[in-house]
Structure formats: structure tokens, C-alpha cells
Chains A and B, each alone.
Chain A
Amino acid sequence: MRNIVRHRLFWPALALATLITVNSAARPQFLRVTMRDGELYGALIDILRNSAPLMLVALGMTIVIATRGIDLSVGAVMAVSGAVALTIIDGSSDPNGVGTVLIAVVTAIAVAMVLGVWNGLLVSVFGIQPIIATLVLMLAGRGAALLVTDGFITTVNSEPFAFIASGYLTVLPFAFFISVAAIASIAIVERRTALGMLTEAVGINPEASRLAGVRSRGIIWGAYVLSAVLAGIAGIIYASNIKAADANAAGLLIELYAILAVVLGGTSLQGGTFSLAGTVLGVLIIQTLNSTILFMGIPSAQSPVFFAVVVVVVVVIQSQKVRSWIRALGASGRNRRSAATTEVAS
């Protein structure tokens, strides 16, 4: 029992379970999943599908944070990627062609990758503080996206493109499979190679890692590229969902939600050891919380407050300091007695 409570994923898992329990108690249909035309529908399925963009961004953010960095530009990269993809489809003679959509998607991801290379260059080669380095793109990126779309909200009608966010692969949404693929491939790359361990080493102690011969520049650079590529894919999913490239709204504030998901998952902002499973739980907590707000009919004006209250509770429970206080409270009786004996003894 003690070991379960001590496990780093215990608290995020408990928070998620509590949210789901509260939801299903309040509205039993929350748990109901129905099958229509061989496709599953329901609140839980929606959570899995809608969480895809945040999931991708938060996974990238986890790796960046593990290197002691932060990537504020992910929302802007989403906007750029969506703008690039839609502009290509919009300008094509065959917007419904699978080939067109494929070209658009690949180009958008490539552009996102270039943006990641830029971020990584600023941080790992020029030694600029990550928060500043990525702030540049956070501010400039949306401008660039507007430039791509000529300042308009580009809309398209493209079956294959819409499929990315709303289509089904067998019984589950396609977007969910994108999430799973991203989680699996990142987990494999980080944990089946030595990349994860070296990333943690660089994040925990950059100087000791350098002295041990770790190529920290490449590791840090790679983290920003990964983060941007994932943000690029997230941007495509977002654009596909609304069938439009909205440079001002795409990925707005998602960098903050992603950071929140990482922290909820138990990865420290100070860098070092990271937990991908924790981040996955963090994303699901945030997404469930969002649907809770919708479900419970909390007026949209008050939903940020409700959101904030829940987050504060979860974060405070996870805080080491609070936990040691609680432990100290429990132990204080014993301590007082033992302190008294030592004083007598001396």
C-alpha cells in the first residue's frame, strides 16, 4: 500500500479517477458508450478524441522540460502548420484528393520542423534562455501564419482532410490513433534507446553530463525539434477539426495547458527525470475537467475559475512541501516526546 501511494503516478491517477467518479455520479450517462454504424460514441470517446492536439503538444513539452527548457512557441507553431496545410489544399485543383492532403500534411510538418530547428538553434547553440528563445516564435509565429493565409481565415471542404480529426478507424476515432502512435513512438525512442537517460542526465546536471562526454547540444536541440513537429501535427488536427486555418485562435494558450499537463503528471519544471505516462494522465485530467465543466453546465464565464480551483487542489496535493507538512503533523506528537527525552539526557 505504501509503495502504491509513493509511486509517482499515484496522485495524477487518483485525480483522474476522482474526476471520472464525480462525473459519472453526477450524470450516469457520462460512462455510457454507444455503438452506431460500427463506431463508438460517448463522452469518454470524445475525451480521447479531443485530447489529441494537447496530447501531442504535451508529450513534446515533457521532453523539452526534461532538458531544463520550456517551449512557449507550440501554439504559434500549430497556427503556422494549420495555415500551411490549408493554404496548400485551398490552392490545389483537387482539394478532395488524398495525394493533395498528404502533400499538405507533410509540408506543414516540415515547416514546423524548421521552426523547431530555429528554437533549438537559439537555445542549444546561442545559449539563449529557453523562455526567451521560444517567446520570439510565440509572438512572431502567429504573424507568420497570418501572412501565409493573407490575413483571412482559410476554409476548405476536403473529405480526406476532415477525416484526420473526425474520421473513424474501425471503431475508434482516427485522432485517438494519432495520440496512441505518438505516445508509443516517443516512449520507444526515449526508453528503448539511451536518449531518455541522457536527456535526464543533461536536465539534472548539465555540467556533469558535459564532463562525462554527453552530447548535450544535440540532445537539447532534438527536444525542440520534436516538440515543434508534434505541435505541427497538433495544428493539422486542430485545423481539420474546424475545417479552417484560424491563425489567431489555433493553439491559443495551449503552451500553458501543455505545461500544466506535464506538471500534473509529476515531471518537475526543474528538468531531469520525466514521466511520459504522467503527462498522458495530465492531459486526460485536463480534458476530463473541460468536459466536466461542459457537462455540469457551469456557465462559461465561471468555467476558468472552476478549472483553476481543481488544478490548485491537484497541484497542492502533489507538492512535496505540503506532503512533508502533513507527515510532520502526524509525526509531531512522537517527535515532541523524543525531543523531551533528549533534553533530559543532555
Chain B
Amino acid sequence: MDEAVPLVELSGVKVLYGAERALDDVAFRLLPGEVHSLMGENGAGKSTLIRVLTGALQPHAGALSIDGNPVRFRSERDALRAGVSPVYQEIDLLPNLSVAENIFVGREPRRWGRIDWRTMRERAAEVLADLGLTVDPTSELGSHSVAVQQLVAIARALTAEVRVLVLDEPTSSLDTDEVGELFRVIRELKQRGVAIVFISHFLDQVYEISDRITVLRDGRLVGEYLTTELLRVDLVAKMLGKGIPLPHERQPYEDEADGSLPVLEARGVGTASLKPTDVSLGAGEVLGVAGLLGSGRTALARLLTGVDRPDRGVLLIDGDPRGLASPRAALAMGLAYSSENRRAEGIISELSVADNITLALQAQRGALRRLPPARARELAASWVEALDIRPAQLDKPAGELSGGNQQKVMLARLLALAPRVLVLDEPTRGIDVGAKAEIQRIVGELAEDGLSVVFISAELEEVLRVGDRVAILRDMHLVDTLPSAAVTIDSLLALVARPTETES
């Protein structure tokens, strides 16, 4: 099969978002009749690559060829015409139209220039039956479950002259039977020579359905592998990366066994999705959190800092139970959260670096008690220097900084509040190696000064190096909390990646 001409081949793809590199020299190819999984953590560049493949995004560099002929997609329409059809994870259907209309929207069968409703219904019914769905094509789409809607989206892709089908998290809202049905359809399409890009964070499904796996990390290509030749543990290792080994410079945290209370303790906190979790954090301790995307690592971080409210369980601060009504309330108690999503939940991109750094402090003082401008600048300048933020221009819009420097600006914003607990959700994602090492060093220094840190990272090596203890999350529950010294990368990998038990 390796000899076949790839149906689609992308090479040297480069995409920039502002100063951030979303994809850098990435290659990807699809053979006819294969299911090809695209794997990577959040921000690895999967969605960006899909957008390039489906014409939704113009890469800054790179070449695309179909059947060996170079082409250029200027829009999604070009891609559709070439037979590349996406089914997105956010369902982009029209709930107020009928199922049949949704399947054929924009491509309605016509007769004498008018829509041929009867043919449309019949063809819709055929495709749906093909998918094992028994729904009335004339019924309103919005009246069906999300799972049915998802299958309708797939049906829509199928009715086009599809040669490449992109399925982005198609199974996230399907139950086991529906997944089985979808896989049956995928295998049929394979027989017809359709190439399928499959994206899912369920490793079991990836191993069940795909022939080949391409792994991305931090916008770069890690490699392309045959599924049968790639062990699950190796796949996870490739997705998460091993990082650059650095000496462990920090004094190991000494558990004060004198019975002093933990600064922050969670007892049985959980939500509808996150199972009850116990975590405790001592003064000056760094708790690493390891887990895959969707393992509950972010959900936990948000519960600890008042961003989301737990449905059950209690949080204790210095041994006293406290309810956190909002991030503002949490910040007032010294609990600070830095989101994994820099662009959407971190940086105020059009405000200056100085304003970004002083934002939380100013918010805490209240709008009317403005920080004197001279003091605000001095404060911002001191953080820019302390964290080595570059370029050291206080008036530059923060959105124009590189990812690593944006991360430092967010860090400075929280540190300016002199918090007691810092919860950092993937602070080193998507930033270059130098900045990564620097942020790790800063976290170490902060902890030595008595700050408690929760450090979440998809990079296991980093979690082990930075954390005094490691909390391992998998499938929305806390598997174990172990001293870092007692874990090796391999044993940690096994804990993070262990296959889930199939539903009994």
C-alpha cells in the first residue's frame, strides 16, 4: 500500500497566528482507502492542519497535491469540489430545518430549476439507512439527539462526491452502539477507496479503526506510523513528548511532618463529569498533575480556583472549609489560576503589556482606586525584568508577544497579587524550549519562597521534574498521587495511558 500514490499530500505546511507558530513544516499524506488518525494534545496543531486540508485556512507556506497534482484551495468550496469533506466536532447544522434539508443544504437536487423534494427525501432516507439510522427525513433536525445530529452531519458528507472524509471527534457524543455503527460505515467507505482522517481522543477507538497514525506536537510533525507497529505507550509518549532533560536544581520539598495544615485541600470535590477527588497541597510544595487531554486535569484546576463550582465536596484553605463563588473570591483568598488557553482566557491581546500585568491587581483594588500610573509602570517593569519578558516594551500590545512571553505576562499578572497558591494549567504548552526551561525555573524559585504551586502539563518529564508529588488523572478521575521520586517516566506513562475498561 505504501507504493500507492497518495490521494492527498501536504508538505512543508506553515501557519502563523500572529507571532505564534501554529504549524511549522508539517507534512501529512492520505492514501486511498485508509483510515488515518491524527493525534496530538490540545494546541498540537490538529485543528489547524484540518483547516488547511479543508481549505478553511490559507497556510503561510506549504504545498498541497491531490492525486500527485499540485493544487491550491482558496476556500472550503474548492476543497469540497476536490472531494475533501469535513465533519466538525462543533456540529454546524441547522436545527430548524428538516433532516433531509440538512443533508442536502446548498446541494439540493433540482428539477426544472426548483428543489426536487421527493428525490431529496428518498436519497436522504437511503443515506440514513446506510448509516443504520431510522429517522424520518422530514422531521426537524433539532428534535433529535446530539448523536443523531452527528450522524446526520456524517450523512451530509457522504452524499457529496466524497474522496476524503475528515471526522473531527465524531464519537464524542455517541454511545457504544452508535460508535459501532459509525465504524461499520467507515469500513465500508474504506472499501470504496475513500480516505478518512479520524481525530479522537479515545485511544481505544483510534487503535480499533485506524491503519496509520500521524502524531503532531507543538505544531510540529513527530512522525507517521503504522498503527500495528506503534505501541499505545509509545503513542502517548510521542504525543506528550519527553522534553529536554535538565538537571533537577531545586531542593526537594520536605514534608513537614509536624502536623501543619495543608494550604489548600480538596475533599471529594467533583462535578457531574469529574469524579470526587482528594488533593492536598502544602506550603511551598509543587504538585505536578499528569493526564491526557480530557482526563479531568483542567476540570480539577478550575474547581480549585473558583472558576467552576463543584457539585460536591469541600475545599479547605488552611483547614477551614471555604466556598469559592468566583475567581475574584478565590483571588482574594490567594488562589490564582492561569488558564491553559492563553488566547481565549488569558491575554487581553489589545491591551499593553503593562496593563495586562497590572490587570488583576487593579481589579482587586477596584475601578475607582487606580494604581498611580508611575507605580503601575514601575511594578510592570519590575516583573518584565524579573521574568525576563521580551521585548521589554511596556506599551506593546500583549497579543504581539510570542507564546512564551505571553505566558510570562499572565504569570506576572497573578504574581503581582502575591498569591499563596498558583494553579498553572499547561503553562509551557506551545512555547519554545528555552522559555519552557525558564518557566520551570521560575516555578521552582517561587516554591522555594513558600508559594504552593499546582503544575499541570501534558509533558510527563516536566511534571516529574517540577513536581514534588505527581497527581495522575485518567478518564475524569484521580488515579493516584505519588512522590515524584517514586515514579519513573515509564511507570507514569503506564498510569496515564492504561487502556480504559470497556463498558461492562
Interface of chain B residues 273 through 329 with chain A (CB within 8 A): 307, 326-328
B413 interface residue per 8 A CB criterion: yes
Residues from chain B with a CB closer than 8 A to the CB of A194 are: 362, 365-371
B44 interface residue per 8 A CB criterion: no
Beyond A211-B307, A211-B339, whether A205 also contacts B344 by CB under 8 A is: yes
Residues from chain A with a CB closer than 8 A to the CB of B345 are: 205, 207-208, 211
Seen from chain A, the residues whose Cβ lies within 8 Å of a Cβ on chain B are: 192-195, 197-198, 200-201, 204-205, 207-215, 218-219, 272-273
Contact status B344-A208, CB under 8 Å: yes
Beyond A204-B349, A215-B328, whether A195 also contacts B359 by CB under 8 A is: no
B131 interface residue per 8 A CB criterion: no
Subset of 13 A-B contacts with CB under 8 Å: A194-B362, A194-B370, A198-B359, A200-B350, A201-B355, A205-B348, A209-B359, A211-B327, A213-B331, A213-B332, A213-B364, A214-B363, A215-B367
Interface of chain B residues 111 through 134 with chain A (CB within 8 A): none
Contact status A205-B364, CB under 8 Å: no
User: Shortest beta-carbon distance, B256 to chain A, in Å?
Assistant: 30
Residues from chain B with a CB closer than 8 A to the CB of A219 are: 367
Residues from chain B with a CB closer than 8 A to the CB of A212 are: 327, 331, 359-360, 363, 413
B337 interface residue per 8 A CB criterion: yes
Name the residue among A192, A193, A205, A215 with the largest chain B CB count within 10 angstroms. Answer: A205
Contact status A204-B370, CB under 8 Å: no
Instruction: Provide the bound-state CA to CA distance between A67 and B393, in Å.
Output: 27
User: Shortest beta-carbon distance, A203 to chain B, in Å?
Assistant: 9
Instruction: Provide the bound-state CA to CA distance between A198 and B358, in Å.
Output: 11
B494 interface residue per 8 A CB criterion: no
Contact status A198-B362, CB under 8 Å: yes
Query: Of the candidates B346, B350, B369, which one forms a contact with A273 in the assembled complex, judged by CB atoms under 8 Å apart?
Result: B350
Residues from chain B with a CB closer than 8 A to the CB of A192 are: 370
Query: Of the candidates A197, A211, A213, A215, which one forms a contact with B351 in the assembled complex, judged by CB atoms under 8 Å apart?
Result: A197
Pairs of residues from A and B, 4 with the lowest C-beta to C-beta distance, nearest first: A213-B328, A194-B370, A214-B363, A212-B360
Name the residue among A204, A212, A272, A273 with the largest chain B CB count within 10 angstroms. Answer: A212
Residues from chain B with a CB closer than 8 A to the CB of A195 are: 367-368
Instruction: Provide the bound-state CA to CA distance between A11 and B378, in Å.
Output: 34
Contact status B348-A208, CB under 8 Å: yes
Contact status B350-A213, CB under 8 Å: no
Interface of chain B residues 341 through 395 with chain A (CB within 8 A): 344-351, 355, 359-360, 362-371
Instruction: Provide the bound-state CA to CA distance between A79 and B340, in Å.
Output: 49
Query: Of the candidates B326, B347, B413, which one forms a contact with A205 in the assembled complex, judged by CB atoms under 8 Å apart?
Result: B347
Residues from chain A with a CB closer than 8 A to the CB of B367 are: 193-195, 198, 215, 218-219
Residues from chain A with a CB closer than 8 A to the CB of B347 are: 205, 208
Beyond A212-B413, A272-B350, A273-B350, whether A197 also contacts B328 by CB under 8 A is: no
Residues from chain B with a CB closer than 8 A to the CB of A201 are: 348, 351, 355, 359
Tally of B interface residues using CB under 8 Å:
30
Residues from chain B with a CB closer than 8 A to the CB of A272 are: 350
Instruction: Provide the bound-state CA to CA distance between A214 and B362, in Å.
Output: 8
Residues from chain A with a CB closer than 8 A to the CB of B339 are: 208, 211
Seen from chain B, the residues whose Cβ lies within 8 Å of a Cβ on chain A are: 307, 326-328, 331-332, 337, 339, 344-351, 355, 359-360, 362-371, 413
Instruction: Provide the bound-state CA to CA distance between A283 and B339, in Å.
Output: 41
Contact status A213-B327, CB under 8 Å: yes
Residues from chain B with a CB closer than 8 A to the CB of A210 are: 326-328
User: Shortest beta-carbon distance, B391 to chain A, in Å?
Assistant: 19
Name the residue among B363, B365, B366, B371 with the largest chain A CB count within 10 angstroms. Answer: B363
Contact status A208-B371, CB under 8 Å: no
User: Shortest beta-carbon distance, A88 to chain B, in Å?
Assistant: 33
The closest CB in chain A to the CB of B344 belongs to: A207
User: Shortest beta-carbon distance, A302 to chain B, in Å?
Assistant: 40
Instruction: Provide the bound-state CA to CA distance between A215 and B327, in Å.
Output: 10
User: Shortest beta-carbon distance, A188 to chain B, in Å?
Assistant: 11
Name the residue among B332, B344, B348, B355 with the largest chain A CB count within 10 angstroms. Answer: B348
Beyond A193-B368, A194-B371, A214-B359, whether A209 also contacts B328 by CB under 8 A is: no
Residues from chain A with a CB closer than 8 A to the CB of B369 are: 193-194
Residues from chain A with a CB closer than 8 A to the CB of B371 are: 194
The closest CB in chain B to the CB of A189 belongs to: B368
Residues from chain A with a CB closer than 8 A to the CB of B332 are: 213
Instruction: Provide the bound-state CA to CA distance between A211 and B335, in Å.
Output: 11
Beyond A194-B371, A197-B351, A213-B331, whether A208 also contacts B362 by CB under 8 A is: no
Name the residue among A193, A211, A218, A273 with the largest chain B CB count within 10 angstroms. Answer: A211
Contact status B348-A204, CB under 8 Å: yes
- Other CB < 8 Å A-B pairs besides A194-B368, A208-B347, A212-B359, 6 of them? A194-B362, A201-B348, A204-B350, A208-B344, A212-B327, A212-B363
Contact status B346-A208, CB under 8 Å: yes
The closest CB in chain A to the CB of B367 belongs to: A195
User: Shortest beta-carbon distance, A330 to chain B, in Å?
Assistant: 21
User: Shortest beta-carbon distance, A271 to chain B, in Å?
Assistant: 10
Instruction: Provide the bound-state CA to CA distance between A185 and B328, in Å.
Output: 29
Residues from chain A with a CB closer than 8 A to the CB of B337 are: 211
Instruction: Provide the bound-state CA to CA distance between A193 and B363, in Å.
Output: 12
Residues from chain B with a CB closer than 8 A to the CB of A208 are: 339, 344-348
The closest CB in chain B to the CB of A195 belongs to: B367
Instruction: Provide the bound-state CA to CA distance between A195 and B413, in Å.
Output: 18
Instruction: Provide the bound-state CA to CA distance between A197 and B370, in Å.
Output: 10
The closest CB in chain B to the CB of A196 belongs to: B367
Contact status A197-B360, CB under 8 Å: no
Instruction: Provide the bound-state CA to CA distance between A204 and B359, in Å.
Output: 13
Residues from chain A with a CB closer than 8 A to the CB of B365 are: 194
User: Shortest beta-carbon distance, B426 to chain A, in Å?
Assistant: 15
Contact status A204-B351, CB under 8 Å: yes
User: Shortest beta-carbon distance, A230 to chain B, in Å?
Assistant: 19
The closest CB in chain A to the CB of B346 belongs to: A208
Instruction: Provide the bound-state CA to CA distance between A209 and B349, in Å.
Output: 11
The closest CB in chain A to the CB of B365 belongs to: A194
Instruction: Provide the bound-state CA to CA distance between A214 and B326, in Å.
Output: 10
Residues from chain A with a CB closer than 8 A to the CB of B331 are: 212-213
User: Shortest beta-carbon distance, B191 to chain A, in Å?
Assistant: 39
Contact status B370-A193, CB under 8 Å: yes
User: Shortest beta-carbon distance, A332 to chain B, in Å?
Assistant: 17
User: Shortest beta-carbon distance, A210 to chain B, in Å?
Assistant: 6
Instruction: Provide the bound-state CA to CA distance between A213 and B334, in Å.
Output: 12
The closest CB in chain A to the CB of B339 belongs to: A211
Instruction: Provide the bound-state CA to CA distance between A193 and B350, in Å.
Output: 19
User: Shortest beta-carbon distance, A245 to chain B, in Å?
Assistant: 36
Residues from chain B with a CB closer than 8 A to the CB of A204 are: 348-351
The closest CB in chain B to the CB of A197 belongs to: B355
Instruction: Provide the bound-state CA to CA distance between A205 and B307, in Å.
Output: 16
Contact status B348-A209, CB under 8 Å: yes
Beyond A198-B367, A219-B367, whether A205 also contacts B349 by CB under 8 A is: yes
User: Shortest beta-carbon distance, B498 to chain A, in Å?
Assistant: 33
Residues from chain B with a CB closer than 8 A to the CB of A200 are: 348, 350-351
Residues from chain B with a CB closer than 8 A to the CB of A213 are: 327-328, 331-332, 360, 363-364
Instruction: Provide the bound-state CA to CA distance between A175 and B363, in Å.
Output: 36
Residues from chain A with a CB closer than 8 A to the CB of B368 are: 193-195
The closest CB in chain B to the CB of A222 belongs to: B367
User: Shortest beta-carbon distance, A108 to chain B, in Å?
Assistant: 27
The closest CB in chain B to the CB of A342 belongs to: B61
Residues from chain A with a CB closer than 8 A to the CB of B344 are: 205, 207-208
Instruction: Provide the bound-state CA to CA distance between A215 and B360, in Å.
Output: 10
User: Shortest beta-carbon distance, B20 to chain A, in Å?
Assistant: 16
Contact status A215-B350, CB under 8 Å: no
